Structure 1
């Protein structure tokens, strides 16, 4: 049984095996598009507000 997933960037079908070395992406191009989205903060991992305060210049060091 072969696992098939959708490319997170373009939704093209991707077979989860060595024939797609950029998996879960269908191509190197889609992988770079996703990397660019993370770099430009289009994708973010939510954190809590307290983490932001650690780097605030207005607060004394903790």
Structure 2
């Protein structure tokens, strides 16, 4: 099983920074994505480490809470 942070990698100048949490989890059977971002930054940020989001079979997008 592998897990990578694909958003909020602020130290990489090729990533888009925004207030969010995006988790990509890869197991032997599934590729999962949880994204709480306000934009599609997770799509661009996944390209930096070479993650293919088209292979994700379980995806959950949540809207950020408005306080």
TM-score (norm 2): 0.24
* Higher relative contact order (Cα pairs below 8 Å, separated by 6+ residues): 2
Instruction: Choose between structure 1 and 2: higher helix proportion.
Output: 1
Rg larger for: 1
TM-score (norm 1): 0.25
Instruction: Choose between structure 1 and 2: higher strand proportion.
Output: 2
